């Protein structure tokens, strides 16, 4: 393993850092269950990664087991207990616990603890996951019911493939 090819070629560094204070309100609310902060999107990182803070109410919110063909997904628990599915079993992850899922890896998450929980979710490379999250929020907000076929099509548009567990 070696460093990737250079992406920056100037003779000196530049001031381009992006700061997001903890006091910034979440970018998206999905029903009463989840609040999502877009810490760094694929757009803002030039496709390198997407990093999101996912705050969950103490209500089970399983998106269902799934896998991605083009991206990896990582979870780092900040607060509370998050149920993480590693493709074989559900794990009760607590602050400091980490799960990495490469492309093709079956996974899911939920907050089954009955208490609030928070985690960081990292996607690499930086796919446009915001559109998927926003579409889910709209479905929840409007109460729109999707058929199985419509769910399959929505998932496929966003590199998400359901797996029954």
pLDDT tens per residue across span 83-128: 999 999 999 999 999 999 999 999 999 999 999 999 999 999 999 9
Work out the angle at residue 59's Cα, subtended by the Cα atoms of residues 54 and 61, and round it to the nearest 5 degrees.
60
Alpha carbon of 2 to those of 5, 6, 73, 126: distances in Å? 9, 12, 22, 21
Looking up residue 146, the CATH number of its domain turns out to be: 2.60.120.10
Is the per-residue pLDDT at 76 higher than 80?
Answer: yes
Q: What is the mean pLDDT of residues 155-163?
A: 94
- Residue 71 forms part of a structural domain: yes
Is the per-residue pLDDT at 165 higher than 70?
Answer: no
Distance CA 154, CA 133 (A): 11
Alpha carbon of 163 to those of 59, 106, 111: distances in Å? 22, 7, 19
- Residue 5 forms part of a structural domain: no
Distance CA 112, CA 157 (A): 28
- Residue 135 forms part of a structural domain: yes
pLDDT at 164 (0 to 100): 79
pLDDT tens-digit readout, 19-35: 999 999 999 999 999 99
pLDDT at 59 (0 to 100): 84
Is the per-residue pLDDT at 63 higher than 90?
Answer: no
Distance CA 142, CA 13 (A): 47
Average pLDDT, the chain: 94
Is the per-residue pLDDT at 6 higher than 70?
Answer: yes
The whole domain housing 84 covers 28-162
Is the per-residue pLDDT at 155 higher than 80?
Answer: yes
Of the candidates 130, 136, 39, the residue with the CA atom closest to the CA atom of residue 78: 39
- Residue 52 forms part of a structural domain: yes
- Residue 14 forms part of a structural domain: no
Domain count, the chain: 1
**What would the DSSP string read from start to end of 119-159?**
EEEEEES---HHHHHHHHHHHHHHTPPPPHHHHHHHHHHTT
- Residue 63 forms part of a structural domain: yes
Is the per-residue pLDDT at 60 higher than 90?
Answer: no
- Residue 7 forms part of a structural domain: no
User: What is the model's pTM?
Assistant: 0.92
Is the per-residue pLDDT at 62 higher than 70?
Answer: no
Distance CA 103, CA 84 (A): 16
- Residue 4 forms part of a structural domain: no
């Amino acid at each position: 393993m070696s460093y990737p090819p250079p992406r920056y070629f100037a003779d000196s560094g530049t001031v381009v850092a992006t700061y997001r204070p903890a006091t910034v309100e979440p970018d998206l609310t999905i029903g009463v269950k989840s609040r999502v902060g877009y810490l760094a999107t694929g757009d803002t990182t030039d496709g390198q990664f997407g990093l999101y803070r996912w705050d969950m109410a103490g209500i089970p919110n399983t998106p269902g087991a799934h896998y991605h063909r083009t991206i990896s997904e990582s979870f780092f628990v900040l607060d509370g207990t998050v149920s993480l599915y590693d493709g074989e079993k559900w794990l009760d992850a607590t602050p400091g616990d980490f799960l990495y899922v490469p492309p093709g890896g079956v996974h899911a998450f939920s907050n089954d603890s009955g208490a609030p929980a928070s985690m960081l979710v990292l996607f690499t490379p930086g796919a446009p996951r915001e559109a998927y999250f926003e579409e889910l929020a709209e479905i929840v907000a409007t109460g729109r019911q999707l058929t199985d076929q419509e769910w399959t099509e929505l998932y496929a548009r966003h590199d998400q493939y359901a797996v029954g567990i």
